């Protein structure tokens, strides 16, 4: 595909991945046909030729989503050497995950300057009275 689209990606092999749902589902990992229909309809409206393709597989997962929607990359203050790296889109943030994050974890330099905005410290907000 010649376009960068947030909700549709094409693999190097040519497969097309459509993803975009956000649901408050608790621990339910089932995929509802209503959600799939909405994603497929949106994809076909953007790229009409996708209507001719067959669905090969569908999957669901529980995705950790902080309330601000941003990833969390940090090192435990209590247990140095224990790290957290969690986000809702490993594909969108793959460059950070593949190129920057491993080096920070390997060197024990997390959060570093480049990833400081994604530290758990952003949740340390003084309570108001």
Residue 111 falls within a domain, yes or no? Answer: yes
Asked if residue 63 is part of any domain, the answer here is no
By C-alpha distance, which of 58, 75, 68 is closest to 19? Answer: 58
Helix or strand run (H / E) with residue 9: strand 8-10
Residues 93-111: tens digit of each pLDDT:
777 777 888 888 898 888 7
- Tell me how far apart the alpha carbons of residues 91 and 26 are, in angstroms, rounded to a whole number: 23
Answer yes or no: are the C-beta atoms of 39 and 19 closer than 8 Å: yes
Q: Which domain holds residue 48?
A: 8-52
pTM over 0.95: no
40 and 76 together in one domain: no
pLDDT at 82 over 90: yes
12 within domain boundaries? yes
Split at pLDDT 50, 70, 90, the class of 90 is: low
Q: Is the pLDDT of residue 119 over 80?
A: yes
Residue 62 lies in a domain: no
Give the residue, 88 or 122, on which the prediction is more confident: 122
Query: Residue 45 in 3-state DSSP?
Result: helix
Count of domains observed in the chain: 2
- 2 within a domain of the structure (yes/no): no
Does residue 65 lie in a domain region? Answer: no
Q: Phi and psi at residue 58, in whole multiples of 5°?
A: -130, 150
Considering the domain architecture, whether residues 118 and 86 belong to the same structural domain is answered as yes
Condensed to tens digits (0 to 9), the pLDDT of residues 19-35 reads 877 777 778 877 778 88
Integer angstrom CA distances of residue 98 from 74, 93, 102, 105, 123: 16, 9, 7, 12, 25
């Amino acid at each position: 595909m010649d376009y960068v689209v947030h909700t549709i990606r094409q693999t190097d092999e040519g497969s097309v991945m459509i993803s975009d749902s956000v649901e408050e589902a608790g621990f339910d990992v089932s995929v509802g046909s209503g959600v799939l229909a909405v994603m497929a309809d949106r994809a076909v409206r953007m790229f009409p030729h996708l209507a001719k393709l067959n669905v090969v597989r569908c999957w669901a997962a529980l995705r950790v989503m902080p309330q601000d929607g941003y990833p969390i990359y940090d090192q435990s203050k209590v247990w140095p050497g224990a790290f957290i790296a969690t986000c809702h889109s490993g594909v969108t943030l793959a460059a950070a995950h593949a190129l920057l994050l491993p080096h920070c974890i390997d060197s024990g330099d997390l959060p570093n300057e480049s990833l400081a905005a994604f530290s758990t410290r952003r949740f340390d907000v003084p309570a108001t009275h």
